[in-house]
Chains A and B, each alone.
Chain A
Amino acid sequence: MADRKDFETIALPWLDAVYRAVAALCHDPATAEDLTQATFLKAFENFKTFEPGTSCRAWLIRIMRNGWIDRLRHRQVTGTPVELDENLVVARQEPEATAWSDAEDLLENFSDERVIAALRQLTDDQRLCLFLSDVEGLGQDEVAAIMGVAVGTIKSRTHRARAILKAKLEAHANELGLGPGRR
C-alpha cells in the first residue's frame, strides 16, 4: 500500500484536473464525482507503480480513461446505448479547416455552458484529445500515451475535433444571427 502522505502531496493536487477531464467525458455530475473518486482510490492502490519524475496528472488521467472505458463496456453489455467511436462512423461529414474571421469576438458571444455543450457533441476520443491538449495544455506525446495511440494520430484527431467543434459553434452562431455577414 502506498504512503498516504506521498499520495496526498503528489496525486491529490490534481483532483480538479481529473474532475474536469471526467466532466468533459460524462455529462452527469454524480457519475463525474463517482468516477473521479474511483480514479483516486485506484491510483492510491497502485501508487507504487507511479514513476516519480513523470507526469502524475497524465498517469491519473490514464487511470480515469481506463475506468471510463470499463463503464462504457459494462453499459454495452447491459444494453445501455453508448456513443459510437469516431472510427465506426462511416462517411462523417468532415468540416474543412477554413478561415474564421473575428473568431475571438464571435466566441465571446457564447456562454461557457454553450462551449462545453458543443464539445460534448464530439466523440469521446475527440473530446478527450481536444480537452487534454487545449484545456489541460498537455503535450501531444503525453496525450498519445494516455490514449494509447501514436503522436501523429493525436495530431490528426485533435485537428478534426477542433474543426468539428468550430462547425458546431458556427452553426449555433448562425442560429443566433451572429454568423458571418449577419452581424
Chain B
Amino acid sequence: MMHLNAEQFEEALLDEAPHREHLAGCAQCREALAGMRALRERLRTAYEGVRAPAELAARIRRQTVGMSQQHAGQALPLTKPRRHAVRFPRVWRYASLAAAAIVLVAAGLVMQLWPAGATAAQIELAQIHQQNVAAMAAGGSNMLCGDMSAMRAFVKARTGCSPLTPCCGAGTNVECCCVQKFRGRPVGCFVLKTPKGPVSLVVVPDKVDTLGMTTSIQVDGHAARGSSAAGSNMLACGVGGYTYCAVGNVDHSQLADVMAQVVKGR
C-alpha cells in the first residue's frame, strides 16, 4: 500500500478531507498523523509562555516618538526656500559637478569604512546623546555638574556601577553626568566638552558584540568598535567589565581620543 508522502501529510495536518479515504484504511498513516498533531500542539504550548519583555513595547513607542519628531523637524523647514533664477557660469557648473562626484566617492568610502548597520541599541545610544545635549542646553536640571568625585558617587549610587572616567586635558573636560535608560536599565553617562563638540560617554553593562557595531578600531591596544546611527558617530570599547560608548556628532578619530583617555584612566 502506498502511504502519504511529505506534502500530503502537511496537507492532511491542515485539512484531512482530501486524504480521509486513505487515512481510514491505513493505520500507519493515521498514527503518524496523530503523532504530528501531538507534536504541533506541544510546540504551541511550549511557546505559550514566551512573551516580549514588558518594557520593550514602551521603549519602541518612545523611539518611534523620537523618530517622528526628528522627521518632522527635517520635513518642515522654518522658512520656505526661495527660488533663484540665477544662471551660473559654465565653469561653475562643471566645478559643482566635480564637487558632487567627490562627495559621492567620499560618501562611498565613509560607508565602506563605517557601515551603517544601525541596530536599535545604536539608535538608543544616539538618542541618549541627543537628550544629553538638549539637557545641557536647557540648563541640565537632571544633570550633576562639577566635581569629578561627586559625579562618580552620583553614578555609583544610581546604577551600582563604578566606571572609569577619562583623563582630562588638551581641551577635553568632563562637564556633567546623568543617568539615562539603555535597554530598559539605568546607565551612567558623562558628558564631555571636547574641542570639536560635546561627546557623551555612556557606560553600559552589555558586551561590545551585542551593540552591532561593525568597524574594528584599536585604541591604545584595546579593541574598539565603531558605527554611526541616527546622525551620531559612536565608538564602543570594553574595559574592566563595562562597555564604554563614546557618542557624538564628531568624527571617529575624536571619539577614539576620548576613548584613549578612558583607557588611560584605568
The one of A34, A45, A116, A140 in contact with B210, judged by C-beta atoms closer than 8 angstroms, is A34
Kindly state whether residue B45 has any CB partner on chain A within 8 Å.
Answer: yes
Kindly state whether residue B21 has any CB partner on chain A within 8 Å.
Answer: no
* B119 in contact with A160 (CB, 8 Å): no
Contacts of A152 in B (CB 8 A): 7
CB closest residue in chain A, given B44: A135
CB closest residue in chain A, given B10: A155
> Interface residues of B, CB < 8 Å — how many?
53
* B39 in contact with A34 (CB, 8 Å): no
Kindly state whether residue A134 has any CB partner on chain B within 8 Å.
Answer: yes
A38 vs B56: C-alpha distance when bound (angstroms): 11
Interface residues of A in 84-142 (CB under 8 A from B): 97-101, 103-104, 107-108, 110, 112, 115-116, 119, 130-131, 133-135, 137, 140
- Give per-residue flags for B62-75: 1 if the beta carbon is below 8 A from chain A beta carbons, else 0: 01110110011001
The one of A4, A98, A100, A110 in contact with B65, judged by C-beta atoms closer than 8 angstroms, is A4
Contacts of A1 in B (CB 8 A): 67-68, 71-72, 75
Contacts A20-B51, A78-B214, A140-B10 aside, 15 further interface pairs with beta carbons under 8 A come to A4-B68, A19-B50, A19-B51, A30-B206, A33-B53, A37-B63, A41-B60, A41-B64, A45-B67, A99-B31, A112-B45, A115-B46, A116-B47, A134-B39, A135-B47
Q: Which residues of chain B have a CB within 8 Å of any CB of chain A?
A: 3, 6-7, 9-11, 14, 27-28, 31-32, 34-36, 38-53, 56-57, 59-61, 63-65, 67-68, 71-72, 75, 117, 119-121, 123, 183, 206, 210, 212, 214
